């Protein structure tokens, strides 16, 4: 019998144009000055302009930090926090993908809790953060609705995650129009990140009916609409369906937690700089093949959600078919077929294995996992 604590921290505004509510929402949080956290690509695409205008119309001034990189590092949070303090801002607004959102959430959290991010790895986060509003520009990470923040420590290359309701955004404004200009490669990578969250959520040991329903529907929407969003980024229906999938998957995995795909992809990004979504997409079918016999029903439901006709086959065959379907999706959206082609070298594997084993995902994986197993999967995925 299910027994769970469902605590979903973020207020969510959803739909085309909802990003324009940012001024009103910031005002309702009592803010007069904010730090906008973004990256140069998002800023160059003009996506910050409307946010500044909405804030200004509500009488709120903004300082901008646009130094966030592809994979967020703890030093970016330190820089943005210094700017927040110097500017007198009382809260943060993130405009961007997972990296700007995690950076903004990290700033909001460190501003009240103090110290450095790595101090909190494996520990509780005691204090509520500053108010924050996340406006995603990708349908991928779901950082806007999760308790998670993930950073690389540049000294050790350790990519680590913190998870606490005190790491969550105060408001999420989920506006599919903000994804219309996302380039094709990033649409594919972030969409496969969202698929990874959804499939891991379905098959996590922490899944239950409520989370599984959301996650299976996210799988269905991504299977149907990601190829469309990649083929034609201006397709508003495809962008809207992908945003909905990202929201469903994010709420699901925030509760159920993830398995070893993310445990393994974070070290790939930390050590080799590979984009998060690409690392997940490459690892996903390999981990699925490794796990499939340990959650046959979960993977069979994934297969059905991805359009596999399961009526004339056994549940085991259906589960197996989910792996092949994900490989096909990777090919359709143009994901590279191995880690080696993304700058990953075999000599990094021992360090990546050691870091992967520190991740909480190992405990949530449907199959008991050893360091030798992780090593084997990395080598298969090269």
CB nearer to Fe ion: give 31 or 279: 279
Place of tokens 């998870």: 163
- Based on the shown chain and the rule CB under 5 A, indicate whether residue 240 belongs to the binding site for Fe ion: no
Taking the complex as a whole, the smallest distance from the CB of residue 72 to Fe ion amounts, in Å, to 12
Residue 193 or 240: the one with the smaller Cβ distance to Fe ion is 193
- DSSP track, 285-331: HHHHHHHGGGSHHHHHHHHHHTT---TTS-HHHHHHHHHHHHHHHHH
* Part in contact with Fe ion (CB under 5 A); list of ranges 105-113, 127-135, 185-193, 235-243: 185-193
The Cα 39–Cα 136 span in angstroms is 12
Please tell me what DSSP assigns to residue 147. Answer: S
User: Which of 59, 50, 49 shows the shortest CA–CA distance to 20?
Assistant: 50
Q: Which residues pair with 61 in a beta bridge?
A: 33
Tell me the closest approach of the beta carbon of residue 50 to Fe ion, in angstroms: 26
Angle (deg, nearest 10), helices 371-381 and 260-272: 60
Element holding 192 (H helix, E strand): helix 184-203
Size of the site for Fe ion (CB under 5 A): 1
* Minimum distance of Fe ion from residue 266's CB (angstroms): 9
- The nearer residue to Fe ion, 113 or 330, going by C-beta atoms, is 330
Q: Does 25 bind Fe ion (CB under 5 A)?
A: no
Span near Fe ion by CB under 5 A; candidates 53-61, 76-84, 188-196, 365-373 = 188-196
Binding segment toward Fe ion, per CB under 5 A, in 60-68, 112-120, 187-195, 349-357: 187-195
Closest by alpha carbon to 214, among 242, 245, 238?
Answer: 245
CA atoms in the 13 A half-sphere facing the CB of 139: 38
Closest contact distance (angstroms) between CB of 262 and Fe ion is 6
H or E segment at 371? Answer: helix 371-381
**Is-contact 201 149, C-beta < 8 A?**
no
Tell me which DSSP letter residue 114 carries. -
Cβ closer to Fe ion: 48 or 268? 268
Single residue of 66, 144, 193, 295 touching Fe ion by CB under 5 A: 193
Of residues 81 and 279, the one with the C-beta less far from Fe ion: 279
Stretch of residues binding Fe ion (CB under 5 A), selected from 110-118, 193-201, 248-256, 336-344:
193-201
| Nearest-angstrom CA–CA distance, 224 and 220 | 6
State the nearest-atom distance from the C-beta of 280 to Fe ion, in Å: 6
Q: How far is the CB of 263 from Fe ion (least distance, A)?
A: 11
Contact residues for Fe ion (CB under 5 A)? 193
């Amino acid at each position: 019998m299910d027994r769970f604590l469902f605590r979903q921290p973020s207020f969510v505004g959803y739909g085309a144009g909802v990003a324009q509510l940012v001024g009103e929402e910031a005002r309702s949080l009592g803010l007069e000055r904010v730090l906008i956290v973004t990256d140069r690509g998002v800023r160059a695409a003009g996506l910050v302009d409307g946010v500044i205008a909405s804030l200004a119309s509500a009488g709120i001034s903004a300082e901008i930090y646009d130094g966030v990189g592809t994979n967020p590092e703890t030093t970016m949070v330190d820089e943005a926090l210094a700017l927040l303090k110097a500017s007198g801002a009382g809260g943060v607004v993130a405009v961007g993908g997972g990296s700007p959102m995690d950076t903004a959430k990290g700033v909001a959290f460190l501003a009240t809790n103090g110290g450095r991010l790595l101090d909190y790895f494996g520990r509780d986060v005691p204090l509520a953060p500053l108010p924050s509003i996340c406006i995603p520009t990708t349908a991928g990470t779901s950082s806007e609705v999760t308790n998670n923040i993930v950073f690389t420590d540049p000294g050790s290359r350790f990519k680590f995650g913190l998870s606490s309701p005190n790491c969550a955004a105060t408001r999420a404004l989920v506006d599919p129009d903000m994804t219309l200009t996302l380039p094709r490669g990033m649409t594919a990578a972030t969409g496969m990140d969202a698929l990874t969250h959804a499939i891991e959520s379905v098959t996590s040991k922490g899944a239950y009916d409520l989370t599984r329903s959301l996650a299976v529907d996210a799988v269905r929407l991504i299977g149907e609409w990601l190829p469309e969003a990649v083929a034609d980024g201006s397709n508003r229906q495809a962008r809207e369906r992908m945003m909905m999938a990202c929201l469903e998957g994010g709420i699901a995995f925030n509760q159920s937690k993830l398995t070893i795909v993310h445990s393994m992809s974070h070290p790939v990004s930390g050590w080799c700089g590979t984009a998060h979504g690409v690392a997940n997409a490459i690892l996903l079918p390999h981990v699925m093949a490794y796990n499939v016999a340990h959650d046959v029903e979960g993977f069979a439901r994934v297969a059905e959600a991805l359009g596999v006709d399961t009526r004339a086959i056994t549940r085991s065959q259906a589960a197996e078919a989910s792996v092949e379907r994900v490989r096909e999706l990777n090919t359709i959206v143009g994901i590279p077929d191995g880690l080696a082609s993304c700058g990953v070298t075999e000599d990094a594997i021992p360090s990546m294995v050691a870091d992967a084993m520190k991740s909480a995902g190992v405990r949530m994986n449907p199959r008991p996992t050893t360091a030798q197993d992780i090593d084997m999967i990395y080598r298969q995925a090269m």
